[in-house]
Amino acid sequence: MKPSTKPFPPVLSIRNIFFAALLLPLGQVVAGEAKPADASGAMIEREFRQLLELDDKVHDDVDEWIRSNAKLAAKQVGVDPASLDLQVRNRLSEVGAAYAAFLNRHSGHVRARLAYGSYFSDINEIDKAMAQWKKALELAPNNPVAWNNIGKAYGKQGRIAEAFRHFGKAAELAPKEALYYRNLATLIFSYPDDAARYYLIDRSQIVPKSLELFKKARALDPKNFTLATDAALAQLGTQPFEAKAALAAWNDALAIAPSPVEAEGVRIHLARIHAHLGQADAARALLAKVHETQYAELKAGILRKLEPPPAKP
């Protein structure tokens, strides 16, 4: 089998999954804050933590409702989607009311503003989320979480230049936080034309710039599997295609795959690269270890490409 001379075609664009998980986990935000110095501050912190516990509990309840209804729907006895949506919104509104009440008493509480913004973001009310995050930024201009979250919102709104600026500022303020480099790297990779205009560089420099940021993120968080796969996906965008680096990136991800399912997904990517290089035996060896039904179609497609062309009559 001859190697392909075409650019390597990524199976999944990072852009398709970009805005799913760009907020810093709230637990990290809370853990990184200084402890209050006085008794009244300690009481406020206890109240805030109770608020976070309520938020977590409600989201756990909602997740369970959705999972349970999916199982019932498979048996055609599930709740009507509109009714479930109303039930979910009513339950979540309890959290929103609790945040509003807390901030009415403690309007300068930065982490509560950030959390309230995340609450609105979760229910796709981006303008309200932005209002809370911008208020947090007014209260704490050097808070990287606020800069990051506003950057995410700008990205959702299509204001990519502002997203670049905010993600970049977050990384500048917290140079030891991998998430901010990852977010900026992903945004640059996902919007190459916008990135070239914003950074005043040639489009050919975009993927290398993205990869350098992914490298920084991985150095800070080397055991993060999703970060490793994002970096490996970006490696597929090199032109000309850097196959050796791509194989190394996916093998790095394979080494830290948290489950057999994720490992099989990585093997699909590795097999595609080997097939692209004309290395049929290596591709087949990887595919022989892929058994999950969710990968069956991709596996079959690669195997078809490995078959020799029919002999000419």
| 302 in the same domain as 272 | yes
Do the domain assignments include residue 12? no
| 194 in the same domain as 231 | no
Closest CA to 141 of 117, 115, 173: 173
Closest CA to 232 of 258, 250, 257, 209: 250
Closest CA to 249 of 20, 10, 4, 5: 10
- Whole-model pTM: value is 0.84
pLDDT tens, residue by residue, 120-131: 998 999 999 999
| Residue 198 clears pLDDT 50, i.e. is over it | yes
| Residue 313 clears pLDDT 80, i.e. is over it | no
8 Å CB contact between 195 and 206: yes
Q: How many residues in the chain?
A: 313
CA–CA separation, 207 and 111 (whole Å): 35
Q: What is the DSSP letter of 136?
A: H
For position 70, what pLDDT does the model report? 84
Do the domain assignments include residue 175? yes
pLDDT tens, residue by residue, 208-264: 999 999 999 999 999 999 999 999 999 999 999 999 999 999 999 999 999 999 999
Do the domain assignments include residue 18? no
Tokens standing for residue 21:
């998980």
pLDDT tens, residue by residue, 152-177: 999 999 999 999 999 999 999 999 99
Phi-psi domain of 242 (left: phi exceeds 0; alpha: psi -120 through 50; beta: other): beta
Phi-psi domain of 200 (left: phi exceeds 0; alpha: psi -120 through 50; beta: other): left
Domain count, the chain: 3
User: Range of 173's domain?
Assistant: 142-206
Read off the pLDDT band of 22 (50, 70, 90): low
| 150 in the same domain as 231 | no
| 231 in the same domain as 154 | no
| 177 in the same domain as 109 | no
For position 88, what pLDDT does the model report? 87
Q: What's at 61, amino acid-wise?
A: D
What does the buried/exposed string (b/e) look like for 50-70 if buried means 16 or more CB atoms within 10 Å of the residue's CB?
ebbeebeebeeebeeeeeebe
At 6 the three-state DSSP class reads coil
Q: What angle do CA 153, 154, 159 make, to 5 degrees?
A: 155
8 Å CB contact between 302 and 272: yes
**Average confidence (pLDDT) over 64-90:** 84
Do the domain assignments include residue 11? no
**Average confidence (pLDDT) over 124-145:** 96
pLDDT tens, residue by residue, 257-312: 999 999 999 999 999 999 999 999 999 999 999 999 999 999 999 999 998 777 66
Do the domain assignments include residue 99? yes
| 177 in the same domain as 89 | no
- Residue 175 phi, psi dihedral angles, 5° rounding: -70, -5
| 190 in the same domain as 89 | no
Least confident of 49-53, 58-62, 73-77, 89-93: 73-77
Percentage of residues in the chain having pLDDT higher than 70? 87
**Proportion of the chain in helix, strand, coil states, percent, rounded to 5:** 75, 0, 25
| 129 in the same domain as 35 | yes
CA–CA separation, 120 and 95 (whole Å): 10
8 Å CB contact between 254 and 262: no
| Residue 16 clears pLDDT 80, i.e. is over it | no
Domain finish residue from 206, 232, 255: 206
21-30, 38-47, 147-156: range with highest mean pLDDT: 147-156
Do the domain assignments include residue 287? yes
Do the domain assignments include residue 81? yes
Domain finish residue from 122, 137, 152: 137
| 147 in the same domain as 88 | no
Phi-psi domain of 278 (left: phi exceeds 0; alpha: psi -120 through 50; beta: other): left
Do the domain assignments include residue 215? no
Domain finish residue from 116, 137, 158: 137
CATH code of the domain covering residue 110: 1.25.40
For position 77, what pLDDT does the model report? 74
For position 40, what pLDDT does the model report? 83
| Residue 36 clears pLDDT 70, i.e. is over it | no
| Residue 33 clears pLDDT 70, i.e. is over it | no
For position 79, what pLDDT does the model report? 79
| 82 in the same domain as 152 | no
| Direct distance between the N- and C-terminal alpha carbons of the chain, in angstroms, rounded to an integer | 20
| Residue 29 clears pLDDT 70, i.e. is over it | no
Percentage of residues in the chain having pLDDT higher than 90? 73
